[in-house]
Structure 1
Amino acid sequence: MHSLTIIRPDDWHLHLRDGAVLARTVPDTASQFGRAMIMPNLTPPIVDTRMAVAYKARLDAQKSSLIPLMTLYLTDHTSALEIQRAFDSGIVKAVKLYPAGATTNSAAGVTNIEHIYPAIEKLAELGMPLLVHGEVTDSHVDIFDREKGFIDQHLAPLLHRFPNLKCVFEHITTDDAAQFVAGASDLVAATVTPQHLLYNRNDLLVGGVKPHLYCLPVLKRNTHQQALQTAVSNDSKKFFLGTDSAPHAQGAKESACGCAGCYSSPAAIELYAQAFESFDALDKLEAFASLNGPDFYGLARNSDTITLTRRSWQIPSSLSFGDEVIIPLGAGETLNWKMEA
């Protein structure tokens, strides 16, 4: 195969940040994707509809072709009334659950699932999706076990209590999560990142810590990586593209306490193509990247296409990022597929 044409993909889990760096992140995303589900963990977080509307205006001011789909950041105090207001706005498409302390800018997240039952009940009533960062944050739980702990302690009981809740288990990293989603109702789906398909914890840790591969949830052992590859390459409609592209300047990554997040937007679809080819599933890429996501969210598929051509090229070693520099995921690596302009 020398070229591959697919319906234009969407990114169902994306961090764009704010301010001057939008001049980097928005065009990088728009060059490949039609729509993107925009994460709300800014500083301060996007906790109400008014803030979401203002953030969308700042994204639209970049004058790109990207259609941003906005989300709200759940807190212990998010009311059913605010959920209704977000739904009625037409621009807020989902609500994001961060357990407090689980990842970047999550300190204002949910401390107890029971605190958000009124908001969850309203989401289920409206058919509005709950997007879940699925990790427990208890200090005694090993970081490699936090996803499974969340399934057992929180997600399974939550979906049992609210069986009509539409839920996306974001950036899954384990066989446990893949099996849970596969066995759940059709209201439950998952996003999978390029880094969790391409790399495992050996890539992160062997020969020295690689800060630009550090993300949360952290990369797992190769058996979990293989389970994700199997999940996205079967015919299930439950798994779809969500890069979790999360930009941090080089200095913030290469520090005594490096930030979690991989910046994959500049070469996201090529990274996915590289991954899918590695496990002989290029014929499954379009469903994963372009069909399953909009179908789950009840949105029309994109009407245009993109073409990937087989040719070797190198991901840039660095990129400008406001007044600083950012190191993209796979910096300096050679990829086999290139998206044509």
Structure 2
Amino acid sequence: MTSIELPAAADFHVHLRDGSMMETVVPTIKKGGVSLVYVMPNLVPPITTVEQALSYHARLQAIDSSVTYMMTLYLSPEITPAVIAEAAKTNEIFGVKSYPKGLTTNSESGVVSYTQYYPVFAAMEEHDLVLNLHGESPSSETTTVLNAEETFLPTLFDIHEKFPKLRIVLEHCTTAAAVEAVKKCGPTVAATITAHHLYLTIDQWADNPHCFCKPVAKLPSDRAALVKAATSGNPKFFLGTDSAPHPKSAKVGTATGKTAAGVFTQPYAVQYIATAFDRAGRVDMLKGFACDFGRAFYKIVEKGLGSKDGGVIVLSKDPGVVVVDTIGAGEGVVVPFHAGEKIWGLQWKA
């Protein structure tokens, strides 16, 4: 296939930041063929109240009201069963995101022990909110960035066993082991797969800061497992780009002396996916992964978002498009994934 027409895609894991970076990033959502985004809450300070989430939603809407924004809360001691009940009454908040403490960007307020949140999980199960897990264990004598996801999987199984009706998404899978773990769980457990993890292995991020993210890309065999899962037609796996913009200075290490974790894919989200699926000879499977499966898992129509979420996109291999070198300006300039490389092109159908 050299072209395909699809409903607008839905991206179930995005970082839209705040302030000037938000103003840079939000206008790129539609450029990537996406009309619905699930927004992560790891701002500074994190989104831990319904009021904060609704305020953030309003700021996003003010920039581009044509996009549907699904909001999340940040799992922390401030999140109680009462907060969950309040969130469930809104039309904007759909889940709670768990970050392991100190493991990734703005995760200093994250989770140390999941057992303390069992009452919150029970409330989420009751009110049908989704638990989004950053599935990694903190580094230790036996855990590094290369096995942090695999060592977290028993925690996934434990939460699922104790709360079988709780909808859980294992975010940004990076390993063959995670793919198999999600398959073993019941229908209430699904997983997102990013665009960049369909391309990267450890070799790329080891010498390119713009390919460095958390969780890190792993082995070629893991990448192959992700491609197979994404293109399989299994509804447990759907698009969540984890697009994470950082100023170029933060990525190359001049701002803090460290490389910020995150890969920026928002302006070309579906184009990257189409290119990866084309390489696998499975462009025909793109619609389920990018458009249908996530919407079904999140009950978009049942939750009343179907009428606001729409549009048609047309993707073409030829002539395609070359990824720009930078987006934004000044200190906030961001380098997109695979800058300078040719990928599939995209247009919105009139």
Counterpart pick for 1:234 among 191, 207, 232: 232
Partner of residue 39, structure 1: 40
The residue type equivalent to 2:296 in the other structure is D
Counterpart pick for 1:329 among 325, 332, 337: 337
Provide, for residues 286-338 of structure 1, a one-character-per-residue CA deviation record: whole Å limited to 9, x for no partner. Answer: 10000001101111365431001222431011111574311001111121x10
Partner of residue 338, structure 1: 345
Change (3 A) 1:97 1:322: farther
The residue type equivalent to 1:148 in the other structure is E
Partner of residue 312, structure 2: 305
Deviation at 1:125, TM superposition (A): 1.1
Instruction: Within 5 Å, give how 1:195-214 maps onto structure 2.
Output: 195-205=196-206, 209-214=207-212
Q: Give the CA RMSD over aligned residues.
A: 1.3
Give unpaired runs (5+ residues) of structure 1: none
Deviation at 1:110, TM superposition (A): 1.2
Q: Secondary structure at the match of 2:110?
A: coil
Instruction: Within 5 Å, give how 1:214-225 maps onto structure 2.
Output: 214-225=212-223
Partner of residue 152, structure 2: 150
The residue type equivalent to 2:7 in the other structure is I
Q: Which moved more, 1:26-35 or 1:192-201?
A: 26-35
Q: Secondary structure at the match of 1:257?
A: coil
Contact 1:77 1:116 in 2 (8 A): no
Tell me, yes or no, if structure 1 residue 21 matches structure 2 residue 21: yes
Deviation at 1:55, TM superposition (A): 0.6
Contact 1:136 1:150 in 2 (8 A): yes
Partner of residue 253, structure 1: 251
- Alpha-carbon distance in structure 1 between the residues aligned to 2:335 and 2:283: 27
The residue type equivalent to 1:251 in the other structure is S
- Alpha-carbon distance in structure 2 between the residues aligned to 1:184 and 1:204: 31
Q: Secondary structure at the match of 1:119?
A: helix
Provide, for residues 58-77 of structure 1, a one-character-per-residue CA deviation record: whole Å limited to 9, x for no partner. Answer: 11111341111100000134
Contact 1:21 1:322 in 2 (8 A): no
Q: Which moved more, 1:319-328 or 1:211-220?
A: 319-328
The residue type equivalent to 1:169 in the other structure is L
Partner of residue 70, structure 1: 71
Partner of residue 122, structure 2: 121
Please report the TM-score for the alignment, with normalisation by the length of structure 2: 0.93
- Alpha-carbon distance in structure 1 between the residues aligned to 2:37 and 2:263: 17
Contact 2:47 2:74 in 1 (8 A): yes
Q: Secondary structure at the match of 1:172?
A: coil
Please report the TM-score for the alignment, with normalisation by the length of structure 1: 0.96
The residue type equivalent to 1:315 in the other structure is V
Contact 2:21 2:332 in 1 (8 A): no
- Alpha-carbon distance in structure 2 between the residues aligned to 1:236 and 1:321: 40
Deviation at 1:91, TM superposition (A): 1.0
Deviation at 1:14, TM superposition (A): 0.2
Provide, for residues 172-213 of structure 1, a one-character-per-residue CA deviation record: whole Å limited to 9, x for no partner. Answer: 0000110011121110000000110011112222xxx10000
Partner of residue 58, structure 2: 57
Q: Secondary structure at the match of 1:59?
A: helix
- Alpha-carbon distance in structure 2 between the residues aligned to 1:159 and 1:138: 23
- Alpha-carbon distance in structure 2 between the residues aligned to 1:239 and 1:110: 25
Partner of residue 187, structure 1: 188
Contact 2:6 2:287 in 1 (8 A): yes
Deviation at 1:127, TM superposition (A): 1.6
- Alpha-carbon distance in structure 1 between the residues aligned to 2:289 and 2:330: 32
Partner of residue 111, structure 2: 110
Change (3 A) 1:312 1:299: closer
**Fraction of identical pairs, as percent:** 35
Provide, for residues 230-270 of structure 1, a one-character-per-residue CA deviation record: whole Å limited to 9, x for no partner. Answer: 11111211100010000000000000311000110111111
The residue type equivalent to 1:203 in the other structure is Q
Contact 1:24 1:322 in 2 (8 A): no
Partner of residue 324, structure 2: 316
